[in-house]
């Protein structure tokens, strides 16, 4: 699984399964949507984010945490697809304390020592104590203040790679609002660390969808069992399955994108959010 501290993109471990033009699957036009870049005030500054929602009606809100490559067109395309199913989606720039988007980060940067040296401080800044919790509260408040958000419904949160751990922390920071958590090839979710994300499950009121890839499972043996045991002890509903694809398989611009498994994971996400 991708570590929330290092953001390991597993580029050297991945076996490409689909061509990069797979992004076209998500970039098609979805009618009836409204979208814009927005500035979200937080306790630590202003977060730039992408907000997309159906033009009409009120819909459950979703806080969308990107992978280590951050907010970019691929994540916007994924958010449009989700919004077209009836959600108001906020895709955040988790690095806003250090830089605004576009950041110009590429998957290949993890294999380039100079580029990686520039990227790692951005990722390290996300681990500021209490920062994600403050951000989560600000993002939930922003969504609840939007006319397109149905505040009578719960908020969902989803994260990819390093974003998986951030989704866990979001649910614990706003337990009265976040009722669904989804992580895709998320890493560092169940470690021996005192602040490991899995230890927060009992502090949430959320149902969980946790989908590691096959190489994530290999790199973190025991994490899946620990997550299942923790969810059961906390009384939290949790669907946990190791998918037959490599780290990053859900993201259409990732080298390891696997359309069949990504579509299967997408259907599970929609099933989770149907209960918001």
The predicted pLDDT at position 22 comes to 65
Beta-carbon contacts of residue 28 (< 8 Å; ≥ 6 apart): none
Cα–Cα distance between 6 and 72 in angstroms, integer?
20
Provide the 10 A C-beta neighbour count for residue 114: 8
For residue range 173-192, what is the model confidence (pLDDT) as tens digits? 999 999 999 999 998 999 99
Beta-carbon contacts of residue 72 (< 8 Å; ≥ 6 apart): 66, 101, 102, 103, 105, 253
CB 68 within 8 A of CB 7: yes
Beta bridge partners of 48: 39
The predicted pLDDT at position 21 comes to 57
Beta-carbon contacts of residue 4 (< 8 Å; ≥ 6 apart): 126, 127, 162, 164, 165, 166, 186, 187, 188, 197
The sign of the dihedral angle between the CA atoms of 185, 191, 193, 195 is positive
Q: pTM of this prediction?
A: 0.92
Cα–Cα distance between 203 and 192 in angstroms, integer?
18
For residue range 233-264, what is the model confidence (pLDDT) as tens digits? 999 999 999 999 999 999 999 999 999 999 99
For residue range 20-44, what is the model confidence (pLDDT) as tens digits? 556 776 667 789 999 999 999 999 9
Boundaries of every domain in the chain = 20-273
Query: Residue 127, SS3?
Result: coil
Q: Encoding tokens for residue 117?
A: 């040296």
Cα–Cα distance between 242 and 145 in angstroms, integer?
37
Give how far the C-alpha of residue 84 lies from the chain's centroid of Cα atoms, to the nearest Å: 18
Q: Encoding tokens for residue 97?
A: 């304390």
For residue range 97-154, what is the model confidence (pLDDT) as tens digits? 999 999 888 888 888 888 888 888 898 889 887 999 999 999 999 999 999 999 999 9
Helices (H), the chain: 24-27, 73-83, 113-125, 131-144, 163-173, 214-219, 223-234, 259-273
Superfamily (CATH H level) for 20-273: Alpha/Beta hydrolase fold, catalytic domain (3.40.50.1820)
For residue range 79-103, what is the model confidence (pLDDT) as tens digits? 999 999 999 999 999 999 999 999 8
């Amino acid at each position: 699984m991708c570590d929330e501290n290092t953001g390991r993109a597993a580029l050297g471990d991945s076996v490409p399964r689909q061509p990069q033009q797979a992004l076209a699957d998500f970039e098609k036009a979805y009618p009836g949507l409204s979208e814009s870049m927005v500035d979200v005030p937080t306790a630590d500054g202003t977060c730039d984010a992408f907000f997309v929602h159906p033009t009409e009606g009120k819909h459950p809100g979703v806080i969308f945490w990107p992978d280590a490559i951050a907010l970019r067109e691929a994540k916007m395309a994924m958010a449009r697809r989700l919004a077209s199913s009836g959600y108001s989606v906020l895709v955040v720039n988790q690095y806003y304390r250090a830089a605004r988007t576009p950041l110009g980060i590429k998957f290949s940067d993890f294999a380039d020592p100079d580029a990686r040296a520039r990227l790692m401080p951005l990722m390290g800044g996300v681990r500021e104590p209490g920062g994600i919790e403050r951000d989560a509260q600000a993002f939930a408040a922003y969504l609840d203040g939007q006319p397109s958000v149905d505040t009578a419904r719960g908020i969902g949160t989803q994260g990819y790679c390093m974003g998986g751990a951030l989704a866990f922390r979001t649910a614990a920071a706003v337990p009265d609002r976040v009722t669904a958590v989804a992580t895709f090839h998320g890493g560092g979710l169940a470690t021996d660390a005192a602040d490991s994300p899995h230890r927060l499950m009992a502090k949430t009121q959320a149902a969980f969808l946790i989908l590691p890839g096959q190489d994530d499972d290999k790199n973190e043996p025991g994490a899946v069992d620990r997550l299942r045991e923790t969810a059961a002890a906390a009384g939290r509903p949790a669907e946990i399955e190791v998918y037959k694809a490599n780290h990053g398989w859900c993201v259409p611009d990732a080298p390891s994108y696997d359309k069949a498994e990504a579509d299967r994971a997408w259907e599970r996400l929609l099933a989770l959010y149907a209960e918001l």
